[in-house]
Structure 1
Amino acid sequence: MTQTPRLVATDLDGTLVGQDRTVSRRTAEVLRRLDAAGVLIVLVTGRPIRWLHPVYDQLPVAPIAICANGAATYDPGTDSIVHSTPIEPGTLAEVCERLRAKIPGVVFAVERDGGRQMRHEAEFPVGPWEVNHHSVGPVSYAELLTRPAAKLLVRAGVQQSDEFTALVGECLEGLAEATHSSSSGMVEVSAAGVTKASALARVAREQAVTAHEVIAFGDMPNDLPMLAWAGRGIAMANGHPAVLAAAHDITAETNDGDGVAVYLEQLYRY
C-alpha cells in the first residue's frame, strides 16, 4: 500500500476494545478525526448485534458494523440489518447432525436475526451477563433448527480452541465455515463462504473502494480472511500466533495500549 487508506476496518474485542471492555478516549478521538476527514470506518466483529450498543455508546461516530463474523451488516442509524447471509435451516440441521455424529458431548447455540436473539440447548454454557437476558433463552434441539442462524456456536466441554476448530472445520468442509475468536474452546460456524472478508468486500464495493485502499486490524483467527483481503492487514501486538504470522504489519502496542490509535496516528500523521 503506497497511498493513505480510504477505509479503516477494525475488529472490536482484543483490537479496538480493551480488556475492560472500554474504548479509550484516545481511540475515540482518532476515529472522530478520521470520520471528519472523510475516511470510511467499518467495525468488523464476531459480536452479535445485541453486544454492539455498549461500544457505540463510547464512540463519537456511529459507523456501519459487520457483525457475527460477516453474516450480518448493521446500520446503527436506522437500527437495521442492511445485508444478511445466515445458515438456512436445512443446512443448519445437516451441520448439527454431522457434528453430533463425530463429536461426543457436543452442544449448540444459535445467533438469530444478526444476533438480536440467542437460543441454546439447555446444556450449552451461557455467560453470566446473558443469564435471564430477555433475548437469550434455552430451546429444544429441534427448535434450534427451525429458523436461519447468523452463527452456530459449538461447544463440547473443555477444548483447546485451535484443535477443536480444526476438527469442526474438517467435519463441515464444503458445507460451512468454522473459526474461533477466543481461547474459550467455542467454535463459531457461519454459512459457506461467509467471513469477515466477504462482508467487508461487499461494503467496500458499495462505496467504490478497492481492497488496496483498505487497512484492517484484528487479533484472532476469525480476522485472518479480512487481513488477507485488505491492502494492509495489521495484527495486534497481542494477537494470536497465526495472525501475527500472516499480517502485513504488527501494532507497536496491544489493545490495552491503544495499538490501533497509535498506528493510525502515525499513518495519518495526527
Structure 2
Amino acid sequence: MAPEHAADQPPVRLIASDLDGTVLGCDFRFRPRTVAAITAARDAGIHVVFVTGRPMRWLDPLHEQLDDVGVVICSNGAVIYDPGAERVLEASLFDVSEALPVMADVAREFPDSLFAAETLERVYTDHGWSRTDRMEIRHITEAPVRESLAPGTEVVKLLAKLDGADPNRYFEHVREIVAGRLSVTHSVAAAPLVEMGQRGLTKARTLEHFAAEHGISHREVMAFGDMPNDLEMLTWAERGYAMADGHPHVVATVGRTAPAFAEDGVAQVIEAYLEHEHTAPVAREGRHV
C-alpha cells in the first residue's frame, strides 16, 4: 500500500488519531500492529497525539497499553491533558448559564430527555442515566442536572440522550434547538446521544492550536477518525483519513479512506508512509489508500 506523493508536499510531522473505532476496539484494546506502527512513527520523530471525545477519566486503556501516551486532546477538544503528570494543560469551558437554557429548550421539545454535564472535577447526571463499562464514575452527583449545577460552574461537556429515539433524528432535532449556542456533535452511531461543548469548539480547532504551538501546519498533519465528531479534524489535516468502516457521511465527505479497524487500517497507512519516506522523495498521495 504505497501512497502517492507530490514533490512540494512536506513530510508528516504530526499524526492525530481518534481512539474508539479507529485505534481502539470494542474491548478498548489496541491491536499489536497499531502499537508497533505508533511506536515506529514516534521513533521517526513524528509527534503522535490522540484526539478523542473521551473525558480524562476514560484514558486508562492508554496507560495500560502504551509506554508513552503523550499529551491527549480530550472531550472533543475541550481539554488538553497530560496523563503522565495528571495535569490539565488547557481547557475550553462554558458557563452553566449557557447550558441551562439549552437543557430547558431540549426538555421542552423532548420531555423524556436525560442530561449529563461534565466538569473538570465532577460528573452530574440525571437519575436514570445508565452506567456502562466505559462510564466508570468516581466523582458523580446523581440528581436533576438542571438543579445540581451551581451558578458559576464551568462545564466541559453537556450531554443529552433520549432512550429509544432514532439517533440521527434526535441529533438533528437537538442541533436545531441549540441553534449555534453551543457546539453540537455525536460520536456513537447507534446511540441517541448528543454531545455539546463550548461554542465553536471542535477537535480540529484544538488540534490546530496544538500543532501551531509546535510550529506544525495542517499540511504536515496526518489524521484518522471514524465519526462525525472527527469530521472537522479530518478535513483540516492535509492527510485526513476516514476509517473505511466509519460513519457513512464521514467517509463520503472526507473521500480519503484507511482500511477498517479490524484490518489494522491506521497501522497500514502509517507503515506505508514510513516505508515510502525511506525509499522515495515525498510526493502527493492519492485520495484513497
Which category of TM-score, normalised to the shorter sequence, fits these structures? over 0.9
Read off the aligned partner of 1:227 and give its amino acid letter: L
Map of 1:185-204 to 2, 5 A cutoff?
A: 185-204=192-211
Structure 1 counterpart of 2:129: 124
CA distance in 2, matches of 1:265, 1:181: 27
The answer on whether the counterparts of 2:58 and 2:135 sit within 8 Å (CA) in structure 1 is no
CA drift at 1:193 = 0.6
- Once residues 167 and 85 of structure 2 are traced to their aligned partners in structure 1, the CA distance between those partners, rounded to angstroms, is 36
Are 1:7 and 1:209, in contact at CA under 8 Å, matched by a contact in 2?
A: yes
Aligned to 1:269: 275
Q: Which amino acid aligns with 2:174?
A: V
Check conservation: 2:96, 2:149, Cα contact below 8 A: no
Question: Is residue 135 of structure 1 aligned with residue 139 of structure 2?
Answer: yes
C-alpha contact 1:232 1:248 (8 A) present in aligned 2: no
Q: Which residue of 2 aligns with 1:71?
A: 78
In the alignment, is residue 250 of structure 1 matched against residue 257 of structure 2? yes
- C-alpha displacement of 1:19: 2.3
Partner SS, residue 205 of structure 1: helix
Contact 2:62 2:69 in 1 (8 A): no
In the aligned structure 2, how far is the partner of 1:129 from the partner of 1:32? 26
Structure 2 equivalent of residue 210 of structure 1 = 217
RMSD: 1.7
1:257, distance to aligned residue in structure 2 (A): 2.0
Are the counterparts in 2 of residues 204 and 210 from structure 1 also a CA contact under 8 Å?
yes
1:120–1:144 CA contact under 8 A, matched in 2: no
Deviation at 1:130, TM superposition (A): 4.0
Could you tell me how far apart the structure 2 residues matched to 1:20 and 1:212 are?
Answer: 33
Q: Percent identity?
A: 33
Answer yes or no: is the 8 Å Cα contact 1:32–1:60 preserved in 2: no
CA separation in 2, counterparts of 1:128 and 1:223?
A: 23
* 1:109-129 CA distance string (max 9 Å, x none): 01111xx63220113222256
* Residue identity matched to 1:123: G
How far is the alpha carbon of 1:221 from its aligned partner?
A: 0.6
SS in 1 for 2:155: coil
Q: How does 1:1-270 map to 2 (within 5 A)?
A: 2-113=9-120, 117-127=122-132, 130=135, 133-140=137-144, 141-144=146-149, 146=151, 147-182=153-188, 183-252=190-259, 254-269=260-275
Normalised by the length of structure 2, the TM-score is: 0.87
Task: Supply the AA of the counterpart residue of 1:269.
Answer: E
Aligned residue for 2:94, secondary structure, equals: coil
Q: 1:121 to 1:156 in 2, by over 3 A?
A: same
Unaligned 5+ segments in structure 1 are none
Larger Rg: 2
Bigger relative contact order, structure 1 or 2, given CA contacts below 8 A and separation 6+? 2
- Decide whether the 8 Å contact of 1:112 with 1:150 is kept in 2: yes
Equivalent-residue separation in structure 2 for 1:203 and 1:226 (angstroms) = 12
Q: Distance in 2 between matches of 1:166 and 1:240?
A: 15
CA contact (8 A) 1:62 1:77 kept: yes
Q: Report the alpha carbon displacement of residue 136 of structure 1 after superposing the two structures with TM.
A: 3.2
Tell me the CA shift for residue 234 of structure 1: 0.2
User: Is contact 2:41-2:270 (8 Å) kept?
Assistant: no
Aligned residues: 266
